[in-house]
Amino acid sequence: MLPGAGDDNESLCPSLTFKQRIIGFASCVAFGFLMSIFSWLAMFNRDFVQFGIFASLANIISLAGSCFLMGPKKQVRKMFEDKRLEATVILLVSMIWTLIAAFWLESPAVVIIMCITQYLALVWYGLSYIPFARDIVKKCFKNLIGA
């Protein structure tokens, strides 16, 4: 079992083996990726409501996969730690605004901007789990723009 996966009996499906947890995580990420593909197909068909829905679901499913690794309570606690708080809030707010833009505002431009914001926030959130990854990305972008 992963370190912390069974701590305080918080894990999702505590009877799963390490291999099963990895399979659950990978399955969620793969299904999230598939939903993401569907979202972009919807966008190319100019169905921005479905684009927003599929993109948001893709990100939720991908994020939920980590519950197999550490459990839902620990996942939520980690999401709101100082180093992940900005990315978490941006991700959640952009998901809400994606759906508002799709259903009520009916604004394709806002849907696209919010979906891109979701993807960037999810990547930034994911990088927070890899030591020095954010610093490396920042340095690459600084070098890229010549700052």
Q: What is the pLDDT of residues 17-60, one digit of tens each?
A: 889 999 999 999 999 999 999 999 998 999 989 999 999 999 99
How confident is the model over 106-147, as pLDDT tens digits?
889 999 999 999 999 999 998 999 999 999 999 998 988 876
Residue 76 and residue 107: Cα distance in Å, rounded? 31
Cβ pair 97, 110 in contact under 8 A: yes
Collect all residues with Cβ–Cβ distance below 8 Å to 38 and sequence separation of at least 6: 50, 54, 58
Q: What angle do CA 76, 51, 113 make, to 5 degrees?
A: 75
pLDDT of residue 67: 87
pLDDT of residue 71: 85
pLDDT of residue 6: 47
Tokens (6 digits) for 18: 């390490």
Q: What angle do CA 64, 100, 59 make, to 5 degrees?
A: 20
Please give the single-letter amino acid code of residue 118: Q
- Is 50 exceeded by the pLDDT of residue 9? no
pLDDT of residue 42: 93
Tokens (6 digits) for 6: 């069974």
- Is 60 exceeded by the pLDDT of residue 2? no
How confident is the model over 81-111, as pLDDT tens digits?
999 999 999 999 999 999 999 889 988 999 9
How far the first Cα of the chain sits from its last, in Å, is: 44
Please give the single-letter amino acid code of residue 25: F
pLDDT of residue 10: 63
Which run of H or E residues covers position 122? helix 108-127
pLDDT of residue 124: 93
